[in-house]
Structure 1
């Protein structure tokens, strides 16, 4: 590990926005923890699959100036907005060793990567497209490359709807009707953010951790390591009669593949 990482870590610790810090620091630390013993981050070719605003990809690039980082998403990264965010939080701008592309989940090039990571992406991929998506990412792994996947929250877990700011009660999406859920999200003004979050909920897949691992295996990926996180909250009796306890209480899947 080169000397730039500690100083960059100090810079990111000065950020005050919690969401920014989670993507720029916690996400990096977790990927590093899981893949750092197999990948030389300092010179790696890195792909952020489902990069969102582009914060995490920029954080990897800032920490490792000799690495090459690409962030891809189905929605474009708004570069001026990202620059403003980096400037406000850590007094930096987008580094030259990161670039962003807009793609659909199909093969986008013949490039190979030492590390591909997908953070809270696979909950949003359609069930019938997941094997193909895993296979595509496998094709883009370099020899000895690593794919890191974090799925959180899984659909059947207490807050698997992703509608955190609208509902605080656990398993609300399994206990309420669709109309009740919609009424809790969409206001009379029908804000664009509400419409987007409601549509995101409707498009979530209903896959369990076991389902996702099975699809990765079907795509030819070999699991290096996996971990399942559980909640201590007891499922209500009504749901306990309908679903297996492991399905309801498994909140997160983290795994690496080759």
Structure 2
């Protein structure tokens, strides 16, 4: 019996390791354990029974949302994939924030290379989810990856996809930790934007400080997130919807959230008001065959 099989046997005999949400002290953890997991459950749980479903999380990050779906919403099989290994911190994070001695057997994780095909190893899953990941995928990989995820699903399977913030929205640079000027990334040259980030002093909003911050240090993290900004694919919501349909998905439901802010007049000469204010998109997609 492998390690995961032994853990499942333990859980059948004695249940999941005890946990206590009253211990949570980290705001990044709280946001992903509560808000993100609840939204995923609302969208995915309304389309299939996550307690019996085999789920794939594309871009699982640190795995906090996956952990919450198991502990708070009864998910029994989630496999997370990511190009980074932030999920390796989850045992320590769960111990610190919840007092858990071990992770649930329902969770498995895997590191992949960018653009890796998954369907030959993960075919037949009931549902896929992706939280704030697809804005980071290279444009030339978007359609192939979406087609591959389509192939991962069983017939009539569902895919929940969320992006926030979208690139052209006020803080679509993903740099709000350091820069509170709305649409700044669309208004100034890149070197001016970097100078703003580099010069930032003081604290960062606790909800924006992920568990990778300590790996980089203050200056290293600035360089890391700025490189992430430079690599954003700049997708609009309309482009994303067109791509998922091209990949074969049926859009069963979508929601677009927009900010109540007036874009600068000079930007309205280049982009529509809708694109500039559209901050977030939720999509529930279904495999049509």
What's the secondary structure of 1:234's corresponding residue?
A: coil
**Displacement of 1:142:** 1.7
Residue aligning to 1:152: 164
Task: Report Cα offsets for 1:219-244 as digits up to 9, x if no partner.
Answer: 11110100100111000111112211
Partner in structure 2 of residue 4 of structure 1: none
Instruction: State the SS of the aligned residue for 2:129.
Output: strand
1:19 corresponding residue in structure 2 = 28
Structure 2 match to 1:232? 260
- The Cα shift of 1:12 comes to 3.6
Query: What is the DSSP-based 3-state SS (H/G/I as helix, E as strand, rest coil) of the residue aligned with 2:142?
Result: helix
- Mark the CA change 1:111 to 1:178 in structure 2 (over 3 Å): closer, same or farther: same
Residues matched between the structures, number? 250
Q: Does 1:68 align with 2:77?
A: yes
Identify which range, 228-237 or 108-117, moves more after superposition.
108-117
Matches within 5 A, 1:1-258: 11-12=20-21, 14-63=23-72, 67-79=76-88, 81-92=89-100, 93-104=102-113, 105-108=115-118, 109-186=121-198, 191-258=219-286
Q: Residue 69 of structure 1 contacts residue 98 of structure 1 at CA under 8 Å; is this kept in 2?
A: yes
Misfit runs of 4+, over 6 Å: none
| Cα deviation code 1:116-152 (max 9, x no counterpart) | 1000011111112111111111111122211000010
Q: TM-score, normalised by structure 2?
A: 0.81
Cα deviation for residue 78 of structure 1 reads: 4.9
Structure 2 unaligned spans of 5+: 1-15, 201-216
- TM-score, scaled to structure 1: 0.90
- When the two chains are superposed, the root-mean-square deviation of aligned CA atoms in Å is 2.2
Query: Quick check: 58-67 or 149-158, which moved more?
Result: 58-67
> Match of 2:170, SS?
coil
Contact 1:116 1:141 in 2 (8 A): yes
Question: How much has 1:112 moved relative to structure 2?
Answer: 2.3
2:50·2:74 contact (CA, 8 Å) conserved in 1? no
Which structure 1 segments of 5+ residues have no match?
1-6
